Each structure stands twice: as C-alpha cells, then as structure tokens.
C-alpha cells in the first residue's frame, strides 16, 4: 500500500485537536504525524475538506445492522453486512454481540466470528457474549428462558481459545467469584450487567477480575442512599471501563453528566447496543419471537421495554457534545481510545499514533462521518 498523507483537517492526537498536521499512512499503519510544512514532497497528499481526522470508532456492543440481527444469523456473511452498515457511521472496529440464547446458538456465533477474523472481514475484533449468565430480575429485553448459571459447558465454551477478543457480560451474583476468576485467568474480558448484585457483591466481582460494566445504569441495581448497588460500585471504581449508551433515552443526560464527574473520562466508552435497523429504513423487526417497533430515538417491544437501540457511533459522538456538554476531543476519546484500552489493544488501535493500525475516521465540520479507513483502506460510504 503506497505511502499517503492525509492533510487539511484537525487531527485528534493525545486527547487534543491540533491544527496544521498531516497523518502519513503506509502499509496499513500510521507511519508518521508531521507538520504540513515539513511534509516531504515525495509523499502523496490527500486533501481533506477541513473537519477532524480521528481514530476510528470501536463499538463493544453491536447486536446487528444492515437489516440483520446476529442472533438470527450467527454466520460469516451476516457479519460482513453488519460491519458494512456500521462502517458508514465511523465504526472501524466492533464486537458482534450475541444476547442470551441457546448454547448452540452461542457456539455458532463464536465459530462465525472466528471464521470472519481468519477471513479478514474488516473491523471484527472479537465477540461479546451478553448472557445467558444473567439475573432474571434484570432481564430487560433478554428472554429469561435462556438464562443459566455458570455451568461447566458454558464456562468452557466462553473461555475456548480463538482469534480476537472475547468479552462476556455476567451477573456476578449468578456466576460467583470463582467463575469470574476462571474466565479472567483464561483471557476472557469480564463485564457486569443485567444484575441485581449488591454494592459489596459488585466490589468483590471487580476484585475477582471484572474490568467492565455493560451499559451503565441500565439493567442493574441502582444508586440508593443506603444501597449503592452496582452503579455505586462502578462510579467509585476508578479503573474499570463503563459502557454508556448516549442516546438521551437509555439514561437521562443529567445522570451521565453526574457519572462523568466521578471517574476519568477515558474509563467511559461509548457503545450503541445497536440492533438490525442501523443503516436501513426498517420500522420494525423481530427479536426472538417479539415484534420490536423502531422509532426515531428508540426500539421498544409492545410493553415499551427498550430493545437495544438504533444508535450509531457517529450520532453517539455528537450526543456527547450536545447532550453531555463535553468537548469533541473527549467524545472521540470515549469512542476509540477507551474501548481499545478496555479490549487490551492499546498501542495497536484506538489512537492516531505512529505504529498503530490506520483505522481512521474523517468528520466534517458538522461532525458527520465522511470517510473511514480500516487498515489504511478507505471507505467513502459515510453519513454525508
């Protein structure tokens, strides 16, 4: 892949937006970050029309897109379609997410992700197994008939070695500390979610190896004066990464603004929890036998229960600026560097830095996605 310099846009580097620099890409990686005036004339220039050049977004919770739900089609071809749908909105890396289902469906999903990574499907970094080791009292849109404890078959399946990252969401009061330690020792990234755990149980889970919180505030014991719950334990913890769905529906913006004042910005990561309608005009879809209606800002079943979202990472970034009143630089950190660090990819993805993969996104002056690059290969089907 020939050397090319991307110039003409502000560049998000080390958590700041800087002017007058070019990002040089070669062989799928970032080769240099140089002042425009110092760029050697032999390097081919690619002029961007202002805006911002940032590290590509990484989404750890993608249930579907392009009209396909991963649970319905745990297959390589489905992953190609889902990835292409989200790429339009700046997502250059993601974890296809399988929600609570039969163990055979979970196994097929793991195999599909393995095949996709081996075949080089752009953007797939691993898999997120959200359930079925969850609390029935906090099932949300998950079907409790699929729930199970941390039995040997499930633990061995989740911990089975394979390419890419393996993330699992569990309720700590259901699986216990020993199972969390076992999963973490086998290289599985463990997150808590869909849980009724107490504050003390959540703290013990963090000590046992939990490093993430799945969609903070949603489907978990809340913050009460004499019962801090999972939310209290998460806000107090300064090291675990908290996924947040910034759509103005899942969590009131004021609650997120309070949360952001409790912990470092780079320990929050944007997730979409996106369902099949992303990138389509679908107004409804089927989820494990239930009809889900798709509105402008939400996906709900007949009882008004939220069923994931129709959110994109591009819109989530804009919402951080508009709803949470944070600078764009912070939004970009939460969309790329934070999830990359959570997945153990620091130094390889998530930042514009020499040696990292050339996974990039160009945003225009309205913070709309105009182009993405995965491994230096450009895709122009953006939001514009």
Selection from 98, 71, 96, 101 nearest residue 85 by Cα? 96
* In a shared domain, residues 174 and 274: yes
Structural domain span for residue 96: 56-342
| Alpha carbon distance 361, 373 (integer Å) | 6
Residue 41 pLDDT:
87
CA atoms within 13 Å, Cβ hemisphere of 368: 9
What's the mean pLDDT in 98-121? 97
Identified catalytic residue from 59, 101, 247, 273? 273
* In a shared domain, residues 152 and 15: no
- Give the total number of structural domains in the chain: 2
Residue 208 near residue 177 (C-beta atoms within 8 A): yes
| Alpha carbon distance 37, 372 (integer Å) | 25
| Residue given tokens 């969390």 in the structure block | 180
* In a shared domain, residues 35 and 78: no
* In a shared domain, residues 96 and 131: yes
* In a shared domain, residues 228 and 357: no
* In a shared domain, residues 206 and 98: yes
* CATH number, domain with residue 17: 2.30.40.10
Percent of the chain, pLDDT > 70?
99
Q: Is 223 helix (H, G, I), strand (E, B) or coil?
A: coil
**Does the pLDDT value for residue 381 go beyond 90?**
no
Task: Phi first, then psi: give them for residue 32, nearest 5 degrees.
Answer: -165, 155
**Does the pLDDT value for residue 384 go beyond 90?**
no
* CATH number, domain with residue 198: 3.20.20.140
* In a shared domain, residues 85 and 9: no
Looking at per-residue pLDDT, the higher value among 41 and 243 belongs to 243
Residue 23 pLDDT:
98
Q: Is 366 a catalytic residue?
A: no
Confidence (pTM): 0.97
Tens digit of pLDDT for each residue in 242-266? 999 999 999 999 999 999 999 999 9
Tens digit of pLDDT for each residue in 64-103? 999 999 999 999 999 999 999 999 999 999 999 999 999 9
* In a shared domain, residues 202 and 78: yes
* In a shared domain, residues 170 and 260: yes
* In a shared domain, residues 365 and 219: no
């Amino acid at each position: 892949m020939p050397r090319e310099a991307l110039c003409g846009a502000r560049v998000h580097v080390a958590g700041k937006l800087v002017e007058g620099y070019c990002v040089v890409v070669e062989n799928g990686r970032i080769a240099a970050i140089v002042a425009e005036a110092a760029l050697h004339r032999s390097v081919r220039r690619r002029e961007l029309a202002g805006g911002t050049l940032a590290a590509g977004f990484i989404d750890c919770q993608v249930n579907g897109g392009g009209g396909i739900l991963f649970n319905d089609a745990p297959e390589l071809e489905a992953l190609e379609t889902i990835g292409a749908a989200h790429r339009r909105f700046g997502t250059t890396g993601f974890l296809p997410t399988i929600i609570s289902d039969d163990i055979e469906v979970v196994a097929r999903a793991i195999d599909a992700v393995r095949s996709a990574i081996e075949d080089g499907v752009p953007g797939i970094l691993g898999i997120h197994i959200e359930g079925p080791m969850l609390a029935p009292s906090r099932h949300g849109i998950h079907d409790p008939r699929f729930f199970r404890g941390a039995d040997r078959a499930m633990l061995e399946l989740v911990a089975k070695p394979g390419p890419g990252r393996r993330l699992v969401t569990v309720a700590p009061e259901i699986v216990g500390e020993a199972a969390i330690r076992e999963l973490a020792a086998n290289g599985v990234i463990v997150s808590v979610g869909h849980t009724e755990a107490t504050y003390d149980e959540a703290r013990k889970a963090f000590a046992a190896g939990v490093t993430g919180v799945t969609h903070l505030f949603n489907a978990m014991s809340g913050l009460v004066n004499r019962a801090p719950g999972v939310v209290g334990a998460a806000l107090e913890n300064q090291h675990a990464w908290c996924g947040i769905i910034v759509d103005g529906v899942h969590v009131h913006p004021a609650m997120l603004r309070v949360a952001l004042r409790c912990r470092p910005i780079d320990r929050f990561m944007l997730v979409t929890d996106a369902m099949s309608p992303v990138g389509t005009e679908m107004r409804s879809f089927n989820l494990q036998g239930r009809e889900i209606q798709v509105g402008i800002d939400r996906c709900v079943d007949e009882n008004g229960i939220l069923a994931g979202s129709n959110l994109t990472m591009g819109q989530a970034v804009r919402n951080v600026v508009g709803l949470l009143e944070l600078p764009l630089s912070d939004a970009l950190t939460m969309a790329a560097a934070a999830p990359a660090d959570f997945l153990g990819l620091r130094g390889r993805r998530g930042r514009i830095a020499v040696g990292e993969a050339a996974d990039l996104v160009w945003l225009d002056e309205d913070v709309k996605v105009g182009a993405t690059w995965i491994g230096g290969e450009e895709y122009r089907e953006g939001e514009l």
